[in-house]
Amino acid sequence: MKKVYEEILSQIKESKKVAIYIHNLMDADCIGSAAALKLGLERLGKEADIFSEDKSVPKKYLCIPCANEINKPKLKDYDLAISVDVASIQKLGRGSSTQFLKFEKSIKIDHHISSDNFAKLNFVEHYSSCSMIIYYLLPLLGVEEIDKDMATAIYAGMSGDTGCFRNANTKPMDHKLAAKLMEMGVDSYNIDKWLFKYASMHELELKRRALGRFKKYVNNKMSIIYLLQKDFDETHAKLEDTASIIYLVDVVDDCELAVVICEHQPGKFKVSFRSVTTDAALSVAKAFGGGGHAQSSGCQIYGCLNTVINKIVKESKFILDEQK
């Protein structure tokens, strides 16, 4: 791993034009990681653009520096591709993954427990967020001072992936670094307000519908809510409007595993898992070809709603019983 790390630093230092790739259904950590890296590279006299399969950036993430520059390239060619916060090549989306794999030189920087090596060079460090990796990487690349914009991007990524420092993946080092970033001038109140308090009317309507379908399974140890394609069509909402819905479910008494099922295409369901005290979320997600963090993971399942729910309940019962 040390040799790979040295090769990664060397390739980034030698590059002049960098294409940074983030996963589809973008979130605060992938945007924050990419933004901080872009700003750091530009400080070193390099040029960089950020790419995502998503057509637009959700309004709540526009508080992050460089977010409004995603998919607005200034360059036509690049000598290096870097993916940040991307666990698997599928997460890039079909178009972006095709582009990424064509690069002669490519680097993957990630923090997920379940992570595939799809780049020429792969570096995975299991911090709570990928943004924290970028924080430690920048000085090694030669960035002598992390400015307010870099610090803001890093803080947003950290806060986003720790659920405003409430999730189980939050460690003492996260709080220590957050304090340091605030001392650099980061407006944590404004960032957290946008990431966790802001909600569009579309999102509120989705939450209302989802809560109306709340149901418990596996002796009340698992809670499930779901949204169908028609819910998105009728409310004019998008899949990104479901990001905070999981927080409605994982706080329920006796709940060990919270599940949110979203049909974003006919017969295609995005499933999010959140476990409270065990790694059941990751275990269930992996059973369906997904992954993520020990207590916060996801996957995609195809079929009709009842079939999908039955599959999830069956697998979850087995894993929850095993983890007693």
CA distance 116 to 100: 14
- For the domain covering 2-197, report its CATH number: 3.90.1640.10
pTM above 0.75, yes or no: yes
Level-2 CATH architecture, domain 201-322: Roll (3.10)
Q: What is the 3-state secondary structure (H, E, C) of the chain?
A: CHHHHHHHHHHHHHCCEEEEECCCCCCHHHHHHHHHHHHHHHHCCCEEEEECCCCCCCHHHCCCCCHHHCCCCCCCCCCEEEEECCCCHHHHCHHHHHHHHCCCCEEEEECCCCCCCCCCEEEECCCCCHHHHHHHHHHHHCCCCCCHHHHHHHHHHHHHHCCCCCCCCCCHHHHHHHHHHHHCCCCHHHHHHHHHHCCCHHHHHHHHHHHCCCEEECCCCEEEEEECHHHHHHHCCCHHHHCCHHHHCCCCCCCCEEEEEEEEECCEEEEEEEECCCCHHHHHHHHCCCEECCCEEEEEEECCHHHHHHHHHHHHHHHHHHCC
pLDDT at 241: 85
Return the closest-CA partner of residue 83 out of 107, 105, 104: 107
Question: pLDDT in tens for each of the 324 residues of the chain?
Answer: 556 678 999 999 999 999 999 999 899 999 999 999 999 999 999 999 999 999 899 999 999 999 999 999 999 999 999 999 999 999 999 999 999 999 999 999 999 987 789 999 999 999 999 999 999 999 999 999 999 999 999 999 999 999 999 888 899 999 999 999 999 999 999 999 999 988 888 889 999 999 999 999 999 999 999 999 999 999 998 888 888 888 888 778 888 999 999 998 899 999 999 998 888 999 999 999 888 888 888 999 999 999 999 999 999 999 988 776
Domain layout of the chain by residue ranges: 2-197, 201-322
Q: How far is CA 24 from the centre of its chain?
A: 9
pLDDT at 324: 63
User: Is 133 within 8 Å of 122 (Cβ atoms)?
Assistant: no
pLDDT at 2: 58
CA distance 59 to 56: 9
pLDDT at 287: 93
